[in-house]
Amino acid sequence: MELNDDFLADIGLADLPEAQRLPFLKHVYSTLEQRTGDALSEGLTDAQLTEFERLLARDGPTVVAWLEKCVPDFATDPLYLQLRDRLDPSVSDADLLCEYAAAQWVRINRPNYEDVVTGILADIKRDIIANRDKILGIG
């Protein structure tokens, strides 16, 4: 699910004033990102966390070494090709590799990623719905 006007309607906030929509959606995204990161990091070793942090930091040599070791045929991987085609053409090849490596790392180390995100988003939606009147300034 995308965080947009449809999301707001789904949680009963279709009447949220226009000026509050984008900041609210950014807050929801930030909360989702934080909670997802916390949930996914549970049970990982320090070495795994360090490896992922280096991939996220766009440490070129680490990214290349990780790809050579874990996904040597990445250039033909449908995920890589999809990401390449979806990204803005101004994105550098190095940045593309970094995005791909981080996505692949998550797929390998946290294959339940999508389920975790879905569950956390459902929790956030329940919290918002329970506080809808307060958010709208009604209660």
If one counts every other C-beta atom within 10 angstroms of the C-beta of residue 34, the result is: 11
pTM score: 0.77
| Domains in the chain: boundaries | 5-136
Please tell me the predicted confidence (pLDDT) of residue 139.
61
Nearest alpha carbon to residue 60 among 90, 99, 91 = 99
Please tell me the predicted confidence (pLDDT) of residue 26.
96
If one counts every other C-beta atom within 10 angstroms of the C-beta of residue 91, the result is: 14
- pLDDT tens for the chain, 139 residues long, are 689 999 999 999 999 999 999 999 999 999 999 999 999 999 899 999 999 999 999 988 999 999 999 999 999 999 899 988 988 888 888 889 998 999 999 999 999 999 999 999 999 999 999 999 998 888 6
Give the amino acid at 123. Answer: D
Please tell me the predicted confidence (pLDDT) of residue 125.
96
Backbone angles phi, psi at 72, to 5 degrees: -65, -25
Nearest alpha carbon to residue 86 among 78, 94, 116, 101 = 78
Please tell me the predicted confidence (pLDDT) of residue 44.
93
